[in-house]
Chain A
Amino acid sequence: MRHNRKRKQILRKLILRSGHISRLWAALVALCIGTTLLLLSVMIWWNFQQLLNGKSDENDSLGSTFLTVSKNVTDAKMGKPQLTIFSSNEIEEMRYAPEVQDVGVLTSNRFPVYATLNSALNFSTDMFVESVPDRFIDKRPEDWYWQPSNREVPIILSTEFLNLYNYGFAVSKGLPQLSESSIKALGFDLKVGEGELQQTFRAHIVGFSDRITSVLVPDSFMAYGNRLWGHNAYSEPTRLIVKVKDPSSKAFIQYLQTNDYTTNAEQLRWNKLRAIVEVVTGATGILAVLLMALGALVFILFIELTIAKAQQSITLLLQIGYAPGYLSRFMIKRFFPLLLATAVVSMIIAVLVQTGIAGWIKTMHLALPEYPGWPVYAALAVSTLILLTLVATSIVRAIRNTK
């Protein structure tokens, strides 16, 4: 369409000869920086969510969302163990607490357990065992089951306990330090019950848990033991295992505090970090929106100034038969590419930064996606759409208002 091009050439000469190109550049740079900041703040927020919610296994250290919850033992509660028991009502209530996805009961033994490590080491001790529903066990071993005919009982030990033994107990007592595999190879005897009903089982450790600080036996063994040898004293649990979507959630922590519950404090430390990240992203976001608003304002003023300067030409163009809609579209086609270009530049910066962050965070044995997530694209789409709408509206209005 040669005549189309020639017509536009003349229109450009008539309408778009306003000077002050430096103002246009200033507006575009402000818009670009504003958009980039907006994308970065969304990205930081989103990346933190990714780390915290631990979608991927690699982030287990951060995203471990299983907490053991118990009641605070205070001076006032000392000597009154029934005060640290969870009633069935409280357990039920916990299921509906904020962020909570699942609640399990840590059942403890109500019968005596006496462990004897083989005679060579001559190590024996009274001990306690607990059990949880299988779904709460991380890294469940293959041989993790028990039935009454079995003389062997599998045990899962907390990694914490192994560490306590290796770095505390063994060193001070001159006992050998043990690796996980060597412990698994060790068998020991478990004397269970009292008097005539006492039985001896062979026990061996089949796995270690980061999640639950306890000595775990299969649920079926616990149920069997409690039925056979159990005292009836405390039948209700003192510790719960809780699956939490986001352990740093303010609402969840508020819930724990109001009920005077306590949990692994490590998990809650993220709450403080989260607060900081929220402040930083919030402040960046506000700054970004302000910058974008400023950029948009200067940009729109530039357009309105251009139209005002060309008012005589536009009036005459309308008088010789040009439609206001045609002139608006002409202006829009001239200015939209500039806005889209700033959006593209911002997006490229965001992608580069995300790739950089992903590489950097890998060195800390955490994982983040190589490319920005959908909230970043959504933020770009929404902000660009708003910007384009504002500019288009102001162009159409300015041309319509030209007499």
Chain B
Amino acid sequence: MQLFLQDLVPIPLRDKVNAHRSDIWKRERTFNQGNCVFIQAPSGTGKTTLMHILYGIREDFTGMVHWDTYNIASISKDDLSQLRAMHVSVVFQDMRLFPELTAWENLEVKRLLTNSVAAEDVEKWLVRLGLGDKKNAIAGTMSYGEQQRLAIIRALVQPFEWLLMDEPFSHLDKANTDLAIALITEVVQMNRAGMILADLDDNDHFFYTQKIAL
């Protein structure tokens, strides 16, 4: 699945976008499947806004966003669900877990939507990221670090061609970050997927094919 952007401008950031040069805003860009893209974005440049536009959550923009033939501006609600369930997965900056469900239920509600990943695999992933004993903990009571790792695993329990990540390791220490990176790399390769990671500071968590500035 190819991602194509053209003349993208988020309406609330119009003035800011006009004031400085960006590799994304107001440009034409194509990202091919399998690309590993790092977007470096200082605070306030619209990193989360971009992620939300790509994922179809925000509609207050001008320009074009195409996932293959899907035009995100005019996509139907059912097609958008299909896109999210089968093709594009996301790790939100603010995690967005169901606070009243247990850690395991949070994963199951996503996994059972497509049933494409075995429950045993997901259990192993929980153990790998140090959440083996948190399976039945209520998500709302878990620490940010734990919630962030849970959100990462949730993003992996579906088929996807692109993985969008918005500051995915902001609450993790070095050791946990490395564990998460290893898991993500493995599952992304398994899916032959591409990824777009947006963060504040430059890093080399993955073998990026492109590094661009927002």
Chain A residues with a Cβ under 8 A of chain B: 3-4, 6-7, 10-11, 13-14, 313, 316-326, 400
Contact = CB atoms under 8 A, between A and B. Distances in A.
Contact of A10 (B77, B82, B112, B158): B112
Given A7-B112, A320-B109, A325-B78, A14 B98 contact: yes
Contact of A3 (B78, B115, B154, B158): B115
Contacts of B179: none
Contact of B81 (A4, A10, A11, A321): A321
Question: Which 3 pairs from chain A and chain B are nearest by CB?
Answer: A321-B85, A323-B81, A321-B84
A322 B98 contact: no
Nearest to B113: A321
A3 B77 CA distance: 24
A255 B77 CA distance: 63
Given A3-B115, A325-B78, A400-B77, A13 B85 contact: no
Contacts of A14: 98, 100-101, 109
Interface string B104-115: 010011101111
B103 to A, nearest CB: 13
Contacts of A4: 112
- Name the residue among B84, B96, B112, B158 with the largest chain A CB count within 10 angstroms: B112
Nearest to B154: A320
B108 to A, nearest CB: 6
Given A319-B96, A321-B110, A325-B78, A13 B105 contact: yes
A319 B57 contact: yes
A150 to B, nearest CB: 88
Contacts of A323: 77-78, 81-82, 85
B109 A324 contact: no
B112 A6 contact: yes
Given A10-B105, A14-B109, A324-B77, A316 B98 contact: yes
Contacts of A3: 112, 115
Contact of A324 (B81, B110, B112): B81
A320 B77 contact: no
Contact of A322 (B55, B81, B108, B115): B81
A6 B104 CA distance: 12
B98 A313 contact: yes
Contacts of B109: 7, 10-11, 14, 317, 320
A320 to B, nearest CB: 5
Contacts of A318: 77, 81
